A and B are shown apart, each in its own frame.
Chain A
Amino acid sequence: MENNGRRKFLGVCLAGASAAAAAAAVYPVFRYLAPRSDQQGSNKVEFAESDLPAGEAKFFEYAGSSAVLVKTSAGAVVALSAVCTHLGCIVQWEKDKQDFLCPCHAGRYTPDGTVVSGPPPRPLAKIPVSVANGKITVG
């Protein structure tokens, strides 16, 4: 019986050492392949207000994802995530209709991101934006 206990103990040691070695190999590989957080763009973006005429939209990269800035014909400035809430396509600005169309499954949003028609379940996510001294600051 004593012999069996020793066998078991050594078995557990061996299994433990193997698990530790496997973890020591897998962890660096995971870190090596993991997407890098410091690459995801800066968190504040600035534009000159004159760059954005009323009724136009401007697409840009924000926090590693796509965002859009719109100035409605009424003159309000809105910043939205450009990622459609249905299956993640990027919405397009339709200047003539003054709305967003998602080309994937024809989801439609108003300039402030509210769903008008189509499959999107939620409005486009809002991004904080402020206008001061002729500068638009997003984020």
Chain B
Amino acid sequence: MALIKRLYNWLDLRIGAKEIVEQELTGYLLPRNINEWYSLGSVLLVIFTLQVVTGLLLLVYYVPDAEKAFKSVTYIMNELPYGWLIRLCHAVGSNMMVAVLIMHMLSTLFMKSYKSPRELNWLTGFLLFTLVQGISLTGYLLPWSQLSFWATTVATNSAAAIPVVGPYLVEFLRGSKLVGPATLGRFFALHVGVIPAVIAGLIGAHLFCLKRTGISTPPFGDQVETGSHWNPEHYRYESHPGGIPFFPNYALQDLTSIGVYFAVFLAVVFFAPNLLFTPDAFIPANAFQTPAHIKPEWYFLANYQTLKIFPSELLGLSVQAAAMTFLALLPFIDRSPERNPFKRPLFLVCFFGGFLLWVGLSVWGHYS
């Protein structure tokens, strides 16, 4: 202990460590009525870090070549010590990341923290959401199994419904007329190089906005002003005098949430490792044999079902594009300063109605 204190003093004399701790940790005050949902961002940071670490470890043995990819993944799973653990952490982690991302999005949506002055927080977050979907889609192809191959065929094919450029766009995405070795090359580059870098940059932007704006006050409880006291004429940092310190109080909540996350995540890894894999995931890709039931991953099931229920694919695609654009631009559409959802009945109906619609479409997609 004494040694740590001395080291801390030594650092402080050189880089002013105590000042930073005072400013960013013990003196960083959060609203008194802050709740658990505000810790999901930290959980996401942990998940992203874990994805990067396990991804780099997989890169040590994975071979991005159509002839060898499946074999290298099988080797990692069956022969390397703890290869199964690394791979499952990466595969399960990607699904968990989407799930936690959706929860984080729903909570900021419900508490209406996307409103002025936090539009940029919402926009960068929304971009992160689409990029995480993109990194999952490109990563799905890499094992080069029947499942990856045909899921990618179906997913890329939906772009063909776009008028005029559609068919060319599909070919461009795939790098060839059909999914093949050229597709693996570009998806690999996107998955391990391009998208992670952009995600890391956007996380930086997301946190920067948060830092400059200050954390929002949850719109519930008594001592709270629910309307946003933001004045559109001047930049103002939303501070919380008399609030609770981030360290140790909220850091403990962050740690608790991370602990709960790990309990769920590791339960899947250890006790339900095949949750995500259908039998087609264990058969190498065969370009001449389409398996019977090709379904996308759970978080794309609603999109998949939407495409199926509309008589024309173009219509189905347009509806989804419209819904995504609406969500992305929500802070500019919903402009009332009232942030308490219980004082916005129409919002409440849309929120729960929209969520149930998404769940319903996903379940329908699963069983259709």
Q: How distant is the Cα of A2 from the Cα of B86 in the complex, in angstroms?
A: 44
Q: In the assembled complex, which residues on chain A have CB atoms less than 8 Å from the CB atom of B57?
A: 29, 32-33
Q: How far is the CB of A69 from chain B (nearest CB, A)?
A: 32
Number of chain A residues whose Cβ lies closer than 8 Å to a Cβ of chain B:
7
Q: Is B85 an interface residue (CB 8 A)?
A: yes
- Do most interface residues of chain A lie in helix, strand or loop, or is the interface mixed? helix
Task: Report the minimum CB–CB distance from A76 to chain B (whole Å).
Answer: 42
Contact string against B for A residues 29-48, beta-carbon threshold 8 Å, 1 for contact and 0 otherwise: 10111101000000000000
The reply to whether the CB of B13 lies closer than 8 angstroms to some CB of chain A is no
Binds A, one of B75-83, B126-134, B168-176, B360-368: B75-83
Give the residue name and chain of the A residue nearest to B58 (CB): A32
Does A75 have its Cβ within 8 Å of any Cβ on chain B?
Answer: no
Complex Cα–Cα for A31 and B57 (A): 12
Q: B57, B80, B81, B83: which has the most chain A beta carbons within 10 Å?
A: B81
CB of B60 within 8 A of chain A? yes
Residues of A within 8 Å of B85, CB to CB, are 28, 32
Residues in A neighbouring B83, C-beta threshold 8 A: 32
A-chain residues with CB within 8 Å of residue B80 when the two chains form the complex: 32, 36
List residues 70-90 of chain A with CB under 8 A from any CB of chain B. none
Q: What chain A residues lie within 8 Å of B81 (beta carbons)?
A: 28, 31-32, 34
What's the least CB distance linking B360 to chain A, in Å?
Answer: 39
Q: How far is the CA of A31 from the CA of B82 in the complex (A)?
A: 7
How long is the Cα–Cα vector from A28 to B81 in the complex, in angstroms?
A: 7
Per-position binary interface string of chain B over residues 92-105, scored 1 when its CB falls under 8 Å from any chain A CB and 0 otherwise:
00000000000000
Distance in Å: Cβ of A101 to nearest Cβ of chain B: 36
Convert A48-83 into 0s and 1s, putting 1 for each residue whose CB lies closer than 8 angstroms to a CB of B. 000000000000000000000000000000000000
Rounded to whole angstroms, the CA-CA distance of A36 and B57 in the bound complex is: 16
Alpha-carbon distance A134/B238, docked complex (angstroms): 89
CA distance A29 to B60 in the complex (A): 12
Compute how far the CA of A33 lies from the CA of B53 in the bound complex, rounded to whole angstroms: 13
Q: Which residue of B lies closest to A33 (CB)?
A: B60
Give complex CA distance A33, B83 in Å.
9
* A32 cross-chain contacts in B, Cβ below 8 A: 57, 60, 80-83, 85-86
- Complex formed: what's the CA distance from A28 to B82 in Å? 6
Interface 1/0 per residue, A89-116 and B, CB below 8 Å: 0000000000000000000000000000
Q: Report B's interface with A, CB cutoff 8 A.
A: 57, 60, 80-83, 85-86
Binding site for B on A (CB under 8 A): 28-29, 31-34, 36
17 more contacts with CB within 8 A, not counting A31-B81, A32-B83, A32-B86, are: A28-B81, A28-B82, A28-B85, A28-B86, A29-B57, A29-B82, A29-B86, A31-B82, A32-B57, A32-B60, A32-B80, A32-B81, A32-B82, A33-B57, A33-B60, A34-B81, A36-B80
Question: Could you write out 9 A-B pairs with CB less than 8 Å apart?
Answer: A28-B81, A28-B86, A29-B57, A29-B86, A32-B82, A32-B85, A32-B86, A33-B60, A34-B81
